[in-house]
Structure 1
Amino acid sequence: MPFPTFQKLFLSASLMVLPQLAHAEVLEIPGSDDVNILIDVNDRGDVLWLKSAAAPNTLMKTSPDGQGGYVHVAVNDMVSATGSAVASLSSNGDITWSGYASGQPHIFFYDDSTGTASQLTPPGTVRPWGPVISGNGDAAWTTQPSLYSNMHVEYYTKSDGLITRLTASASAVTQPAMNHGGDAFWFEKSGSGDFDLRKYDAEAQTTSTLLVRPIGTTLRRVHASESGDVAWIEVVAGEGIPDLFLYDARDGSVERITNSTHEENNVQFNRAGDLVWNAVGDIWFLDRRTQQPKLIDSAQAANSGNFALSDMGETAWSDQVGLGSEVRLFSNATNSYHDVVGVEPYQIENHPKMNAAGDLYFRVEWITGGVTQSRIVRATRQFECN
């Protein structure tokens, strides 16, 4: 069924109802001091983050210790490599990231089951970038033979430790996306000049073409859902403005979700197939059940993808307030808004991330005695039953 295209709308005052959501507790995570970027969280409670300038390029994994505390591991230090925010956290606790070792760029891997890290790419690998990871620890990334060429897509299978090249030539024009099951998706340029959306089926170990986009199209990074839906940002030939497109795996249809005068980017899926994205400072939500896009808020602090989406359709974002910011939450189910940290907000609240259950993590920053401090906060979801 087609989705409606739309021009920019205005946020209706009727949406701004009294807060209906609640969190049981909002607690700082001890040992997460000097956090610079909160990268990702998973359902186990693992947190992936990058330390601040006081400890540059240190990639940290924080996990519950089962006794009410936390264990912190600097994963990049295990392989004498740098960390970076170009990193991906699996639901099983594995991590892959882009970094440097001995001055050369590489892709690295942290195996949560063994507590060890390793370098995946061999010496001489050219321009490896953009690693993503599946639920079982399989990973994918690109390499680029020359500065102005297109890319190869490489695939790492954790079970046997093998790396397989998925592209026959350096033809990929986007970084790969990967879903929980390990399927990988990317666009590559064909010999005729148009663009194929390619899928690697992890179970069948086969690669196929899902659809073709015309010559003259400019494509941005793709995003994949658990059911195999794919969203991407595309500049239609002759138009010049990036818009959001969606491939529906149920019937193979392609829909143009937006047709606006503002650039759409920073797309996120949840397991239900809902979408959230931003255009300039506006945050949009697409409910796949109603197939209606909704403007959630105009939040300038969310320009760089400073928002998160849960499997329950809740969206959290960092909203600009004066010189600071605060994390807010919107529930699509109840059409309501909620300030996560109530009467005692921090000076800056940003980088929100949510797991499937709706637990919310975000970075907070404040100044004490002229010294800037930062830490990760966890807001546990409170469920209310009828």
Structure 2
Amino acid sequence: MIGWLDLAAGASGDLLLGALVDAGVPLDVPAAAVAALPVESVRLVPEQVSRHGLGATRVHVQAPPSTEHRTWADVRALLTAADLAPAVQDGALAVFERLARAEGRVHRVAPEEVHFHEVGALDALADVVGVVAAFEHLRLDRLTASPVALGSGSARSAHGVVPVPAPAVLELLAGVPVHAGPVPAEACTPTGAALLATRVEEWTTLPPMRVQRVGVGAGARDPEQLPNVVRLVLGEAERPAPASPVVLAANVDDLDPRVWPGVLEALLAAGASDAWLTPVLMKKGRPAHTLSALCPPHAVAAVQRAVFATTSTIGLRTTPVGKVELARSAASVEVLGGRVGVKLAVLEGRLVNVSVEYDDVAALAAELALPVKEVLRAATAAAAAAYPVA
């Protein structure tokens, strides 16, 4: 299963947590992870809300008031001591480490000296641990996301008035496609940015998939410009259609005809499925040959090199083609005291074609000192008797 996040309204810990729960992650999954933290009692309470007529889940984090400002070392010790699954513990540590590094660059201090204010509070801890636990529960093969709306203007924080996007958000999302979005307020929080930077593998529009579930997570605000939601789309990745075989072709009028058998052998050795010559009459009445080679996609480059190396042509036509191929299997029949290989072709469960391997026939004829046509006749009759076509 793959996931895609629609971040047109930005991102925060509660938006992401709401989207995950709305997409079907049992509330017990993030709640159990949050309960494992060695802190005061914290509860997750879901609420069904509407944003611009769009139904969504908002997850409230109910925690006692706390004025404690934890350092990165404090948060690391807290998470290390928590009875969490290893993947959840490692994931949460990775998120807070990104936060510490980003805040350290913004404030020009070492990460170990960073004091988390808002992001060290109990609700932020719960958001991070809950979101990581929910994503681990989904066991996604890949998580992608749209460009992130960050907002604009300014906001008040523990440090005072800061510009929006927040400096730490810009640090966290360096190299990620972002835009201001239509809301003149903070759209993406540092916690949301750190979670995205840690979990998202690719930034793209909705990838090809067969949609199975959609989760809509809401935040506290309800701006007039757009629904304040994050959407999580879950589904199975659409497998790309297999690449088509290619026919390479060139008209050649200046090659010694004695060379052609070796040319065909070289193309087959390079990976062509088939190779053949067609006599043609070119301009000014010049006799020539069209050299053609049917190539599976992976062999095109090698066969092209073989054509240029073994012929005098200076150009090739390449044409993607469709191909219908019958199911086939190999067998053998006893002929005149020897064995000859047989190809069997099946259509819709019915045997429709039987052919003998000519190389085997020729080898047996040489061994028995018989004309090839006699051995071929006997082998064909034996194959027809052993594998009658319906």
Q: TM-score, normalised by structure 2?
A: 0.24
Higher percent of residues as strand: 1
Q: Which of structures 1 and 2 has the bigger CA Rg?
A: 2
Greater relative contact order (Cα < 8 A, sep 6+): 2
Higher percent of residues as helix: 2
Q: TM-score, normalised by structure 1?
A: 0.24
